[in-house]
Amino acid sequence: MVGQVEQLAKEKGASAAQLALAWVLAQGDDIVPIPGTKRAKYLEENVAALSLELTGLDLARIEQAFPFGAASGERYPAPMMELVNG
């Protein structure tokens, strides 16, 4: 899945992170990404995602790479979940 997103990002002249932010921005005016960063260069990269335009075909390719439910499951492996829930 990641390889497909990296390929599309490369085609758009962007990073995978920029593509992800642009995708979130394309989900509607009521959805706002809140990226975090510790470095100014990543802040600049995040802001540059605002100018990345995704076509309907781009959005379809992303949806095909990451169909609904593809990234489901526990956040941590079972032994770690016991520590979190303990």
Tokens matching residue 18: 């920029």
Cα–Cα nearest to 16, from 40, 38, 35, 39 = 35
Please report the pLDDT score of residue 19 as a whole number.
Answer: 96
Tokens matching residue 4: 């497909």
Give the tens place of pLDDT for each residue, 9-53. Answer: 999 999 999 999 999 999 999 998 888 889 999 999 999 999 999
User: What DSSP assignment string belongs to 67-80?
Assistant: -TTTT-S-SS-HHH
Enumerate the domain spans of the chain. 2-85
Compute the distance between CA of residue 45 and CA of residue 47 in angstroms, rounded to an integer: 5
pTM of the model: 0.78
